Amino acid sequence: MKRIKLLFLFGAIFVSMSFVCYAADLSPQGFLYSAPVTTGNGQTYTSVRLTPEIINESQSDLSDLLLMSDGQPLPYFINGYSVSQSESITEYRMVLSDSYEKDSFQYLDYKLQEEPADDIIATSLHMTATGQFAKEISLYGSYDGLHWDFVRDDSIHQVDGSRKLSVELLPKEKYTWYRFRISGNQEPVTFDRVWLEYRVDVASKNFFVETLSPGMAVEQDEKATVVILSGLKNLELSEIELKTDSMFKRNVYINGSPHVLYNLTFGSKSYRDLTIRLNGYQCRSDQLEIRIENGDDTPIQLDSISVSYLAYDIIFQNTQNPITLYFGNVEIARPPQYDIAGYRENILAEGYGSSAIGEIIELPAEPSKNTDAPDYTMVFNIVIVLVAVLLAVILIIRLKKVK
């Protein structure tokens, strides 16, 4: 019993120490900015869109975002796309090639109406018919109408409003000929129309893209126009579009990468490409430089510039308590690890609401330490270590005595 008590005491000490460290790591200390977040509209989960200003002042990987509610961290995950489901159906019409009866079976051979240029894939075989019937069938497939492979047994019927006139080809088949062997001595079946279907469910990701008008400064550098855009730090840029009425065709450079832009008019025809595609390039500084080579021509007149960037949402579980987002902490080395990220796909499939983010507040700087006052931090740390070692020695001795 004494040994159990000692072990319990030893474990409690370390659990308490771990809890203190954990609480310290999740406190909002060290953050430069905060912004209030409104609660959702009644759904289980809700989202808030990160503004360019928040992304500008956060770390490049957004690892320093902290949601707090009622004094506790609120788990979240970051999402940059929506999922859309669609169904794609391709049909291949078939025509009757041969029909005969043998050994009380009716045989119907069908082939593709048009020879395919590529391999066809089908997930089901469909037909329409007149009259009422219920038949057991065996289905065979072929590539040439001479050699037949068994596909499957099934049944078809059309009786008193109940209808089953299709055969599933699971998972999928590539035959261009199909043979029905229909059993029974009843009236033969005649199909009005037969066709193959290839049906597939398509899930696509639609990335969030938003547009902003950045700060812009224009300078002339000898034979080049230099445009400096600001407010783009950490944004993943999709494209930059210039707005101008000038007629030109010139080389444009961003970070040394060349692009050719032009705005030309000849008679009634116009040729224009004023968009620089950046494919998610992340701007690591607050300013981005665009250099337009003018040669001996006069500089073009820029009216404005628009920037498209990939946007992100923070998704979290709704709560009735006020929520605050903290960001701008250079001391955080990695993003938080929350369980909610493990079932993000389920949340995205179920759907979620949206909430708004309030005005950004710059937090007061932590008071600087008085350099004139003596710093006892090192002494305190040494004392803590010595006490911990002493406690460990005492516990080991007590455990040996219990043995």
Give the model confidence (pLDDT) of 220-246 as tens digits.
Answer: 998 999 999 999 999 999 999 999 999
- Are 223 and 303 in a shared domain? yes
Q: pLDDT tens digits for 290-322? A: 999 999 999 999 999 999 999 999 999 999 899
Averaged pLDDT, 378-383? 70
Residues 141 and 153 in one domain: yes
pTM: 0.64
Query: What per-residue confidence (pLDDT) applies to 367?
Result: 60
pLDDT of residue 362 exceeding 90: yes
186 and 92, same structural domain? yes
Q: How far is CA 293 from CA 85, 203, 289, in A?
A: 46, 44, 13
User: What is the Cα–Cα distance from 199 to 123, expressed in whole angstroms?
Assistant: 6
**pLDDT over threshold 70, residue 30:** yes
Q: Are residues 71 and 162 in the same domain?
A: no
**Within a domain: residue 399?**
yes
* Residue 172: inside a domain: yes
Residue 377 lies in a domain: no
Pair 122, 136 in one domain = yes
Helix, strand, coil abundance in the chain, percent, nearest 5: 15, 50, 35
Question: Do both 265 and 327 map to the same domain?
Answer: no
* Tokens linked to 251: 């080389």
> How many structural domains compose the chain?
4
Q: Which two tokens stand for residue 365?
A: 């700087």
Do 261 and 277 fall into the same domain? yes
Is the domain of 58 the same as that of 96?
A: no
The alpha-helical segments, DSSP class H, found in 241-376 are: 344-350
The token duo for 301 is: 């007149």
Arithmetic mean of pLDDT over the chain: 87
Does residue 375 form part of some domain?
Answer: no
Domain boundary among 204, 223, 240: 204
Answer whether residue 117 is part of any domain.
yes
Q: What percent of the chain has pLDDT over 90?
A: 65
Domain that holds residue 13: 1-30+385-403
Please tell me whether residues 254 and 186 are part of one structural domain.
no
Q: Is 142 helix (H, G, I), strand (E, B) or coil?
A: strand
Is 378 inside a domain boundary?
A: no
Residue 372 in any domain: the answer is: no
Three-class DSSP category at 216: strand
Based on the domain organization, do 91 and 154 belong to the same domain? yes
